[in-house]
Chains A and B, each alone.
Chain A
Amino acid sequence: MESKTRKMTSLAIASAFAASVAAVGATPAVAADDMVKCYGIAKKGENDCKAGPGTSCSGSSTVDYQGNAWKLVKKGTCTQVSTPFGPGSLTCLATRPTGQNYQCG
């Protein structure tokens, strides 16, 4: 393996360490870019011994889902996010462009 030049000297690390410890000591709990707190501290427990709402509801009938034959329409807030492949659609069943790996952009 090719040895490479270190990008930070130990002196730079030492001073960054000292400065960050001092900074946190002085101004607690605000850092990084921005912070989003979630206030739902006590989430509902999920194991229960209750029954669902009876004999007939969405649970006992299948939605017609066979490949592309999905009949439902998205009615959420996803239209507030415009996707790289065009505007978020409420109805269409657009397939993302083939071969495109969205994970790696």
Chain B
Amino acid sequence: MSRIENTDGSNPIPARAGVGLKPEHYAEILDTRPAIGWFEVHAENYMGAGGAPHHFLTAIREHYPLSVHGVGLSIGADAPLDTDHLNSLKQVCDRYEPGLVSEHLAWSTHDGVYLNDLLPVPYNAETLGRVCEHIDQVQEVLRRRMLLENPSTYIRFDGSEMSELDFLAAIVGRTGCGLLLDVNNVQVSATNHAYDAVAYIDAFPHQHVGEIHLGGHADDEGDDGEPLLIDDHGSAVADIVWNLYAHTISRCGPVPTLIEWDNDVPAWAVLMDEAARADIVLSETSVQHVAAE
């Protein structure tokens, strides 16, 4: 089952706050070497041959642990994985030796067209089989365990026969992959589909969570005037998500936690403040966790 050895050993990501690395901040990070636990990059932005992106990432990697987060592998597609793309992901991993590698439970490529969004899948036996095949293939090529991220969704499928939680647990059971728990995605999906976010966190397979994501969302309205949250990563983490995060840490223990801010990227100091807030939750809640045992 989990025959893929975890090769994270030499470059571990600490159970601290990290920040999504943005080109806007390259220079400041190299100049000031902020006390941040780690960085995460989107793999696809480093699939060029050379130039500035590699230059800056190489320099930053010398000083910080790194996590690689893929956004374009389309693991949830019915079609076979794009092996060229998977090989490019392997090259990024070989070059930067990340402590964690993650991707999404979503699809984005169909019929040779890349839709550039993380599109939802129906939760049923057919999708489960396809997703597990793809994760097996990724783990074999990368020679390491990957983390799979729970999605934020705006619609559901009639064809779903399982809950998202059962679906994720089944994937972990079959492939031995770990999970990336995006707490904001939980809040977004729970609101959008009118279920209880805390109950979702409580039932999440905690022992397999290798990383947490925190990001901002925007408020909108659905077709019937009902609340609809949009996962836009364009603002500070909402208070309701901070509360859900503290609850998550009380369940999972301290887990590396990423601040994601992709739209309207703010000044570096703003991201440091968000990271500091996560670090406080991590350190304070971990004490409670240990004491509780």
Contacts and interface: CB of A to CB of B under 8 A. Distances in A.
Do the two chains touch directly in the complex (Cβ atoms below 8 Å apart)?
yes
Contacts of B233: 48-51
A3 interface: no
Contact of A45 (B22, B152, B220, B230): B22
Contact of B232 (A42, A43, A47, A51): A51
A55 interface: yes
Given A47-B45, A47-B71, A53 B218 contact: yes
B280 interface: no
A67 interface: no
B227 interface: no
Interface in B18-75: 22-24, 26-27, 41-45, 52-53, 56, 69, 71-72
Residues of B in contact with A, size category: 20 to 34
B23 A54 contact: no
Contacts of A52: 230, 232
A50 B44 CA distance: 14
Contacts, number: 69
Interface in A43-102: 43-55
Interface of A is mostly: loop
Given A54-B218, A54-B220, A48 B71 contact: yes
B233 to A, nearest CB: 4
Contact of B117 (A45, A51, A53): A51
A51 B231 contact: yes
A31 interface: no
Interface in A19-48: 41-48
Interface residues of A, number: 15
Interface of B is mostly: mixed
Contact of A50 (B220, B221, B262): B262
A46 B221 CA distance: 28
A93 B169 CA distance: 58
Contact of B52 (A42, A49, A50, A51): A42
A100 B71 CA distance: 45
Contacts of A42: 23-24, 26-27, 52-53, 56
A45 B45 contact: yes
* Central interface residue in B116, B221, B230, by most chain A CB within 10 Å: B230
Interface of B: 22-24, 26-27, 41-45, 52-53, 56, 69, 71-72, 104, 116-118, 152, 218, 220-222, 228, 230-234, 260, 262-263
